[in-house]
Chain A
Amino acid sequence: MKPSARAPRRPKSSGVAALELALSLVFLVPLLTGMLQFGYYFYIASHAEEAARAGVREAVMKGGNCAGSALIKAEGQAPPPGIWTGNACVQNGGGAAACYMNEPPLGLGSPSNTTVTLDCLTPASPMPDTAPIDPTWRIKVHVEFQPALFAFKSLLPAGLGGKVYYEATVVSSP
């Protein structure tokens, strides 16, 4: 009796699909999680850049000079006043940068997430902060947030409490 051609093949191919899947997942899962992680990170980062731009614009438009800049600084660094967003947020006392980060769906404008630092630089400021004109405003928007996933977290700048951070800096003068 001749042996069947199929009989010995079955044991050979058994489990191959599972093995292929496992091997694929080794590459696929990190790839997809990495895309998610970095995509979310850069999404927040681009918003932080825009928030910094809005914040420094607000400061520059108020004019004045560094000697009398305490109020401008306080207003620019103020966190969002509760649930207000957009223009209403600014009208109710929030700084433009923090209010921008407070926009839905981000909602990262609260002090524990977004820290806005506004510095008024002058020609008398020591290097490397020597500015060409008084006032020259420098804004730093520091955003700390939970990463989308645990994966690849170590590749991102580490913040406090298991968070990661991004910091945007913009300088402008009238």
Chain B
Amino acid sequence: MKNLPMTRNRRDHERGAVALVIAVMWTALFGMAVMAVDFGYLYTKKRGIQSVADSALKAAMPVFKTSGRNAAEQRARDIARLSGYVAGTNVATNTTTNVDFAEPVLAQQFRVTVGRTHPTFFGGIFGLSPRRIEASATGKITAAGGAAIYSGDTRACGAQFAWGTGIEVTGNGFFTVNGDIQSKNKVHLGTPNAGCDGVNCRVTGTVTAASPCQFWNDGTTTEIGIGGTSAVNPPDPLVANTLGTLGAACTAGTSIATPLNLDAFWNVGACPGGSGLPTNVYCSSTDILVTPFAGTIICPSTASFISAGTVMIQTDGNITLTAAPGTNGIIAFSNAGLGGPAIHLSNGANTQYTLNGSVYAPNGLVQAGTGAFGFTMNGIMDGFAVVISMGPTDVWTFNGSGGGGPGWTMLN
């Protein structure tokens, strides 16, 4: 019986321990329930509201760009309404919805904010009252949208498959234009196997073939963009650049009045397997052949080529060029006329061709026909006529001079 008091004491010490354990455990369990049910519910609603905000912004930005904030607000409200989001309080569902707008940078940015209160299930235990879920989307007008591919061909309208007239795109690759395609002559997107249907072949802006010339899209009966009579004579986005104005920026080669041999400029081994060029505006009165002096790769270089003759940028390996300063973002300018390519871009199979700038041949043909696995142009392909020949499964992307898009971009 000696031990009896001790047993009693130990029991006294443990009294309430289970209650404490249960309190802690249930708090944790209800916390998990809040995580799984309430947060899951609110997360799902957040995804839905974010979609509404994004959609409203996408619909409103073209209007914001052309007609200002009031019209953009109305467009966004209409889209939100069709998605079931009308500002105000719904007594039946005990929810409050808001659709708000802001202009973070005057005349440049537009923001749509959509919000709604949603109940919580277990959150009430922790004092979580109905939560207001809100999502915003902000768009910004880009400095330059417009044409990513342009033809100033003023001759009589070419036939559908006429090579070297207007804009001709052939091949079975993946063709994406983040911007507009504009032509004073015909436009033919002949990507028969891939199908220019918005998936393998996609134009985010509009396709314009000046009246009475036609726009043909072989891939599908669904016409993308705007063709035919909807626009007449789209303006040349690079018209301000001439041989004379660009020639004034020459830093290598005596001038546009004398020939230039690039061989003396190549920096052999600037990258593995290739040669690079020092930063310069290279000018010539005759043809410029941009082919690495050694190796097969044109190493990443900042260089522009201004020629009274033709400009050929071609090799078997990767090519990466960025426009030199003082050229208005133009990598290659050719004053040559018709009769052959004025600017010829080509490289070998399974390579990458990247141009961070525009190519411009106001009087001649721009011909891009490579086996490149990837061809990316962050600039405008602008010629009197344009011919693009893609290899099978190649990925060609044209982003225009404004970084792509139909004149605006989404920030978040």
Closest-by-CB residue of B relative to A30 is B33
Q: Is the CB–CB distance between B52 and A64 below 8 Å? A: no
In the complex, the number of residue pairs spanning A and B with C-beta atoms less than 8 Å apart equals: 121
**Which residues of A70-108 have CB atoms within 8 Å of chain B's CB atoms?**
71-72, 75, 90-91
Residues of A within 8 A of B204 (CB): 61
Assuming the contacts A56-B55, A75-B197, A90-B199, asked whether A39 and B37 have C-beta atoms less than 8 A apart, the reply is: yes
Distance (whole angstroms) from the CB of A80 to the closest CB of chain B: 14
Closest-by-CB residue of A relative to B38 is A38
B75 within 8 Å of A by Cβ? Answer: yes
Q: Is the CB–CB distance between B222 and A132 below 8 Å? A: no
Q: 1/0 contact trace for B34-78 toward A, CB 8 Å?
A: 001100110110011001101100110010000000000011001
Q: Is the CB–CB distance between A5 and B33 below 8 Å? A: no
Distance (whole angstroms) from the CB of A28 to the closest CB of chain B: 7
Q: 1/0 contact trace for A138-174 toward B, CB 8 Å?
A: 1000000000000000000000000000001111111
Q: Is the CB–CB distance between B59 and A132 below 8 Å? A: yes
Assuming the contacts A91-B199, A171-B55, asked whether A131 and B224 have C-beta atoms less than 8 A apart, the reply is: no
Q: Is the CB–CB distance between B47 and A46 below 8 Å? A: yes
Q: Is the CB–CB distance between A53 and B54 below 8 Å? A: yes
Closest-by-CB residue of A relative to B39 is A42
Q: Is the CB–CB distance between B29 and A31 below 8 Å? A: yes
Residues of B within 8 A of A170 (CB): 48, 51-52, 55, 83
Q: Is the CB–CB distance between A39 and B48 below 8 Å? A: no
Q: Is the CB–CB distance between B220 and A71 below 8 Å? A: yes
Q: How far is the CA of A134 from the CA of B32 in the complex (A)?
A: 47
B105 within 8 Å of A by Cβ? Answer: no
A35 within 8 Å of B by Cβ? Answer: yes
A118 within 8 Å of B by Cβ? Answer: no
Distance (whole angstroms) from the CB of A33 to the closest CB of chain B: 11
B1 within 8 Å of A by Cβ? Answer: yes
B132 within 8 Å of A by Cβ? Answer: no
**Which residues of A15-62 have CB atoms within 8 Å of chain B's CB atoms?**
20, 24, 27-28, 31, 34-36, 38-39, 41-43, 45-46, 49-50, 52-53, 56, 58, 60-62
Assuming the contacts A5-B7, A63-B225, asked whether A132 and B51 have C-beta atoms less than 8 A apart, the reply is: no
Q: Binding site of A, secondary structure by majority: helix, strand, loop or mixed? A: helix
Q: Binding site of B, secondary structure by majority: helix, strand, loop or mixed? A: helix
Q: Is the CB–CB distance between A61 and B47 below 8 Å? A: no
Residues of A within 8 A of B198 (CB): 58, 61-63
Distance (whole angstroms) from the CB of B377 to the closest CB of chain A: 20
Q: How far is the CA of A6 from the CA of B40 in the complex (A)?
A: 51
Residues of B within 8 A of A173 (CB): 58-59, 75, 79
Q: How far is the CA of A127 from the CA of B303 in the complex (A)?
A: 58
Q: Is the CB–CB distance between A35 and B48 below 8 Å? A: no
Distance (whole angstroms) from the CB of A44 to the closest CB of chain B: 9
Q: Is the CB–CB distance between A62 and B224 below 8 Å? A: yes
Assuming the contacts A52-B51, A53-B54, A62-B224, asked whether A174 and B33 have C-beta atoms less than 8 A apart, the reply is: no
Max chain B CB contacts within 10 Å: which of A27, A31, A36, A56?
A: A31
A120 within 8 Å of B by Cβ? Answer: no
B200 within 8 Å of A by Cβ? Answer: yes
Q: How far is the CA of A90 from the CA of B222 in the complex (A)?
A: 16
Q: Is the CB–CB distance between A172 and B58 below 8 Å? A: yes
Distance (whole angstroms) from the CB of B370 to the closest CB of chain A: 23
Assuming the contacts A62-B222, A90-B199, asked whether A46 and B44 have C-beta atoms less than 8 A apart, the reply is: yes
Q: Is the CB–CB distance between A174 and B59 below 8 Å? A: yes
Q: How far is the CA of A172 from the CA of B75 in the complex (A)?
A: 10
Q: Is the CB–CB distance between B58 and A38 below 8 Å? A: no
Residue in A5, A38, A46, A64 whose beta carbon sits within 8 Å of that of B224 in the complex = A64
Assuming the contacts A39-B40, A58-B198, asked whether A172 and B33 have C-beta atoms less than 8 A apart, the reply is: no
Residues of B within 8 A of A52 (CB): 51
Residues of A within 8 A of B4 (CB): 5
Residues of A within 8 A of B222 (CB): 62, 64, 68, 71-72
Q: List chain A positions with a Cβ less than 8 A from chain B.
A: 2, 5-6, 20, 24, 27-28, 31, 34-36, 38-39, 41-43, 45-46, 49-50, 52-53, 56, 58, 60-64, 68, 71-72, 75, 90-91, 121, 128-129, 131-133, 136, 138, 168-174
Query: Can you report 12 residue pairs joining A to B where beta carbons are below 8 Å apart?
Result: A6-B7, A34-B36, A38-B37, A39-B37, A49-B44, A49-B48, A58-B198, A132-B78, A170-B51, A172-B58, A172-B59, A173-B75
Other A-B pairs beyond A42-B37, A62-B222, A170-B48, 16, CB < 8 Å: A27-B26, A34-B36, A35-B33, A42-B40, A46-B44, A49-B51, A63-B224, A64-B223, A71-B222, A75-B197, A90-B199, A132-B78, A133-B59, A169-B84, A170-B52, A174-B58
